[in-house]
Amino acid sequence: MNIKLLAKSTLNVDYNTLNSKILKLNPKIRYVGVYHTGNVQIFEKMQKGITRLSDKENTKDTLIHAYMRWKGRQHYSSVIGEPLYSKTKYEKINQLTILLHSKALLMINTEPELEPDELIDDLIELIKKYSDDPDYTPRRVHLG
């Protein structure tokens, strides 16, 4: 798995399809969202039957702050290398973030009993699969 190379090849990801496919990886994935800074758009999907823990405005704030934290992690990349992914364990969810490319961050929330590390290899394969369309550009915000 080479996430560093992957980030350079995901400029043309179909985020809505990618989000849907990620949700299908495991029913314990609650939420998938992509924050795209170039278009200032959020593409998100939730697992059917899941109750939102946070409203859409707070979710947007979370994604923006996660992107800013990611940029902060890159500050020391010349010394310790590029960040590959980040995971945070909260009481009610686990959160995984992966930079898709310089302007897009993927965030996945899972149920507490599903460890995000179990998803990494499958996630990378999906991201590769849905980054092949050279003409794709995000077209519209898709919330929920």
**Between the CA atoms of 17, 70, 53 and 49, what dihedral angle is there, to the nearest 10 degrees?**
20
Q: Which two tokens stand for residue 128?
A: 């590769």
Q: Report yes or no: 43 and 138 within 8 Å, Cβ to Cβ.
A: yes
pLDDT at 12: 57
Q: Report yes or no: 100 and 13 within 8 Å, Cβ to Cβ.
A: yes
pLDDT at 81: 87
Q: How long, in residues, is the chain?
A: 144
Angle formed by the axes of helices 120-129 and 15-25, nearest 10°: 150
The three-state secondary structure class of 90 is coil
The CA distance from 59 to 68, in Å, is 14
Q: What is the pLDDT along the chain (144 residues), one digit of tens a residue?
A: 444 434 444 445 678 888 999 999 999 999 999 998 877 789 999 999 999 998 888 988 999 899 889 888 888 888 988 888 889 999 999 999 988 888 888 999 999 999 888 898 888 888 777 665 454 444 333 344
Strands (E) in 1-144, as ranges, are: 29-36, 41-46, 86-89, 94-101, 104-110, 142-143
What predicted TM-score, i.e. pTM, was given to this entire model?
A: 0.79
The CA distance from 108 to 71, in Å, is 18
pLDDT at 45: 95
The three-state secondary structure class of 46 is strand
Q: Count of H helices and E strands in the chain?
A: 5, 6
Instruction: Map out the domains of the chain as residue ranges.
Output: 3-143
CATH topology of domain 3-143: Beta-Lactamase (3.30.450)
